[in-house]
């Protein structure tokens, strides 16, 4: 299973996060993205596979994204990934994170 080094967001995700930052008062991209990931992982359905561009200037390392709980987030992601691979075929872990993050940001933006 391939690791995750850099997380790059799409311009749409960036715009959604800017609105979330304003509405929640949370200033850090990584905190909002962590919450979004957890929202998506809590949904038992497989997120739709889509081609999500990395066309914004927002990027962060895995260490910045996950912080001091990097091992916990990675374990949660890998467990979900194992279930996903069984039901929907092969994809790499980085792409899997990307589609979960996309769904989570959309869910988060709609919930606020």
Summarize pLDDT for 14-47 with one digit per residue, the tens: 999 999 999 999 999 999 999 999 999 999 988 8
Tell me if 73 is assigned to some domain: yes
Q: Write the CATH number for 79.
A: 1.10.1220
Q: Is residue 47 part of a domain?
A: yes
By residue range, what is the domain housing residue 19? 7-111
pLDDT band at 107 (very low <50, low <70, confident <90, very high): very high
* 2 located within any domain: no
- Residue 47 — left, alpha, or beta (φ > 0 → left; ψ -120 to 50 → alpha)? beta
Instruction: Evaluate whether residue 1 is within a structural domain.
Output: no
Split into its structural domains, the chain has a count of 1
Q: How confident is the model at residue 1 (pLDDT cuts 50, 70, 90)?
A: very low
Residue 26 pLDDT: 96
- Full-model pTM: 0.90
Structural domain contains residue 61: yes
Taking only the tens place, the pLDDT of each residue in 57-106 is 999 999 999 999 999 999 999 999 888 877 656 678 898 999 999 999 99
């Amino acid at each position: 299973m391939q690791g995750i080094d850099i997380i790059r967001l799409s311009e749409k995700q960036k715009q959604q996060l800017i609105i979330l930052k304003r509405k929640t008062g949370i200033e850090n991209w990584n905190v909002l993205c962590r919450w979004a990931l957890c929202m998506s992982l809590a949904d038992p359905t497989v997120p739709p596979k889509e081609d999500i561009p990395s066309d914004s200037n927002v990027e962060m390392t895995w260490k910045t994204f996950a912080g001091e709980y990097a091992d916990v987030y990675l374990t949660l992601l890998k467990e979900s990934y194992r279930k996903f691979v069984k039901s929907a075929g092969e994809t790499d872990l980085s792409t899997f994170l990307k589609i979960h993050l996309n769904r989570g940001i959309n869910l988060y933006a709609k919930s606020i």
